[in-house]
């Protein structure tokens, strides 16, 4: 569903001078929340979010790609931004990240460490004096840890 939404929404977001960073769809019974994260080189403010929200809301009303009732939220990725694409991981090489896997690896699903890079379709994580390679498709969620 996110790929279909992304294809639909991306041209609208780009036409407004922003980049579509990612989309999350959270379902709660019949209701769901569609979260759209936007970014730009100059940063994103509340006005950018409001403009994109109005345009995307109109588009979704016409195209109706989301089943049932939903709430649309548009925001910047923030300091602890979620990483959605391989390009995001590459751009944040050297940053501290938190990763949650779809299935346990060596008995655990959650890892924190330094993002060392991307090799093919794998993410290289510095973890406890070693490097671990995680296949991108095995990562459920990853976020940048804000530096203090």
- Give the model confidence (pLDDT) of 49-65 as tens digits: 999 999 999 988 888 77
CB 13 within 8 A of CB 19: yes
- Per-residue confidence (pLDDT) for residue 119, from 0 to 100: 95
Q: Tell me the pLDDT band of 1, cut-offs 50, 70 and 90.
A: very low
Mean pLDDT is lowest, of 66-75, 111-120, 136-145, for 66-75
How much is the average pLDDT of 88-99? 96
How much is the average pLDDT of 70-89? 93
- Taking alpha carbons only, the member of 35, 46, 41 closest to residue 17 is 41
The rounded mean pLDDT for the chain is 92
- Per-residue confidence (pLDDT) for residue 69, from 0 to 100: 83
CA 141 from centre of chain: 8
pLDDT of residue 40 exceeding 60: yes
How much is the average pLDDT of 100-125? 96
pLDDT of residue 121 exceeding 60: yes
- Per-residue confidence (pLDDT) for residue 28, from 0 to 100: 81
Rounded CA-CA distance 104/100 in Å is 9
- Per-residue confidence (pLDDT) for residue 2, from 0 to 100: 66
User: What are the structure tokens assigned to 129, written together?
Assistant: 């004096």
Which domains does the chain carry? 2-75 (3.30.300.70), 86-144 (2.30.30.100)
């Amino acid at each position: 569903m996110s790929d279909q939404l992304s294809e639909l929404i991306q041209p609208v977001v780009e036409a407004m001078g922003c980049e579509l960073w990612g989309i999350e769809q959270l379902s709660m019974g019949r209701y769901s929340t569609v979260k759209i994260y936007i970014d730009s080189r100059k940063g994103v403010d509340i006005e950018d979010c409001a403009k994109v929200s109005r345009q995307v809301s109109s588009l979704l009303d016409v195209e109706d790609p989301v089943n049932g009732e939903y709430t649309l939220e548009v925001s910047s990725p923030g300091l602890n931004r979620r990483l959605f694409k391989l390009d995001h991981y590459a751009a944040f090489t050297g940053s501290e990240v938190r990763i949650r896997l779809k299935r346990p690896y060596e008995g655990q699903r959650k890892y924190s460490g330094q993002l060392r890079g991307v090799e093919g379709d794998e993410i290289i994580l510095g973890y406890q004096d070693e490097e671990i390679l995680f296949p991108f498709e095995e990562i459920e969620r990853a976020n940048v840890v804000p530096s203090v």
